[in-house]
Amino acid sequence: MIPPGLGLGAGPVAGAGGGGRGVIPGPAGPLTALAHGIGSQHDLPISPFYAFAGAFAALFVSFLALGLLWSSSRFRGDRSGLALPAALERIADAPATRTALRGLGLAAALAVLLSLLLGPDDPARNPAPGAVYVLLWVGLVPASLLLGPVWRLLNPLRTLYRLYRRLPRARPRHAHAPLPARLGQWPAAAGLFGFTWLELAAPDPASTTTLLTALAVYTAVHLALAARFGERWFADADAFEAYSALLARLSPLGRRSDGRLVLRNPFHGLDATPERPGLVATVCVLLGSTAYDGYSDNPSWINTLQTSPLGRTPTATLGLLAAIALVATLYCLCAAATRLVCGPHPGPLTAFAHSLVPISLGYLVAHYFSLLVTEGPRTVIMALGTDNAPEPLPPLGPGGLAALQVIAVVTGHVLGVIAAHDRSVRLFPPARAVTGQLPLLALMITFTIGGIGLLLN
């Protein structure tokens, strides 16, 4: 349970959606089990002045230092990395290892399905909502950072597709249709939006009926499209594979261009992020939805949801869309300003989209850390059916949590500045490389103000 001292209200699995947080007073109970949220100012003992001053100082110092000391590109993308021992790579790539991981992913999916079909329609007694909203959505963050794009190996939809392909009648009589290049990651961006809508705006996101319907639709759509386009569809269009792969760009484990498993500087992996259609949309959905989830705790927004003539769900949907659109608009204006300062560039939107990935990571860590470390173990305990197990306690007090959240947001922006600077000195002449980053610096400052403002609420 999340301690009442953190001031977190009912979260999406309470059946009230993201906007319901903060409505239910009193101590945390079963309804607050999956509350997301960042504590408000009176909950987190940190001075707004020091938070903003420290963030601005970190951004300006890093920007000036990079401009003076970093005159040429140092990141080499997927050409870099120290190859791991061949024996370790053989174990990682062994068919038995991959089969075991696929089996683990399928078994976990079946366990969630059985919990939804046979378990009680109560998130306080059914582990399925926690498995979806905590272990999957939030747990993929540390898993992808440490191990790389793990969902590609665990994805039960890939496993179901492979099992289906083994059936004699399922063998295609002709080659799969090629994926249109312009499609890119747009389906993944749409899937991420659908999931965040389910979590933050749907009428009853924790009910077994809602989750069963969502999972059935998602499974049917992706298996049908995979039957047409082949297994490559999952890598390009599955929301959770795209989410995991994007975060894995900052993993110290990666694949070099020659296929070797390597240890690398995470910046090299980030630099290798493919500039594809839909990349900007994917990152903007991550940033915008996390920002909306933080703002949904605000009393004025809660009042808007409760009094809107449109109803709670349409209003929450518009709020979520507005948050994503705001992030996308700011980034597009930044790209236009960069092009105006530095001259024409063939891909002004996607050239610096990778620099938003560490910012997204900072927001995710700041926003969901306390949720993962408290509700993750609680979900596992519930799934194992352990009786009289002690409730997990947060490892950090309010002061430690506040420090972690601010550090995560600021660090994400500083890493974004570094990634953007390295790309700028590669793309633009030296005389314009630094001035061309001023729009990006302004964007980072804007996002920092917004991120810390959400922390202080």
- What's the pLDDT tens digit per position in 334-365? 888 888 877 766 666 788 899 999 999 999 99
Q: Judge whether residue 250 has pLDDT over 90.
A: yes
Specify the amino acid at residue 154.
Answer: L
Residue 36: the pLDDT is 41
Say how far apart CA 138 and CA 131 lie, in whole Å. Answer: 10
Residue 316: the pLDDT is 94
For CA atoms 325, 329, 330, 335, give the dihedral sign: positive
pLDDT in tens, 52-96: 888 888 888 888 888 888 888 889 888 888 999 999 999 999 999
Q: Which residue has the higher pLDDT, 4 or 442?
A: 442
**Distant-in-sequence, close-in-space partners of 205: CB < 8 Å, separation ≥ 6:** 12, 13, 15, 17, 129, 133, 198, 199, 211
Q: Judge whether residue 7 has pLDDT over 50.
A: no
Asked whether 23 and 10 are in contact (CB, 8 A), the reply is yes
pLDDT in tens, 99-134: 999 999 999 999 999 999 998 988 888 999 999 999
* Chain mean position to CA 341: 31
Q: How confident is the model at residue 445 (pLDDT cuts 50, 70, 90)?
A: confident
- Cβ burial, residue 8 (10 Å; 0-12/13-18/19+): buried
Mean pLDDT of 215-219: 96
Angle at 66 between CA 64 and CA 68, to 5 degrees: 70
Nearest residue to 22 via CA among 210, 369, 295, 397: 295
Tell me the pTM: 0.85
